[in-house]
Amino acid sequence: MARIVPDLSALAVPGTRIAMRVTPKASRNALVPADTSDGPLRVYVTTAPESGKANAAVLKLLAKALGLPKSRLSIVQGETGRDKLVEIG
């Protein structure tokens, strides 16, 4: 499966919050930057949204794009929804 992961290392500052819209059960894993500066990041993951597997896949993909360990990321809003807010610790 192809992965599309842009370099988001400029956002890797403690305290930064990243808004995103997640699409689980997608055909590929991908991060797509928003069309506008105030729009959410689009995240596509191939895993199903059961038992937190999609959230774990989102954090893993985002951590790779940021160049951080996934333990530094936490979902502060939207744990069970498609719209999420992730904070860098």
Per-residue confidence band for 1, with pLDDT thresholds at 50, 70 and 90: very low
Q: For the domain 3-88, what is the CATH superfamily, name and number? A: YggU-like (3.30.1200.10)
* Predicted confidence (pLDDT) per residue in 6-60, tens digit: 788 888 999 999 999 999 999 999 999 877 666 789 999 999 999 999 999 999 9
- For the chain, the distance separating the N- and C-terminal CA atoms, rounded to the nearest angstrom, is 30
**Residue ranges per structural domain of the chain:** 3-88
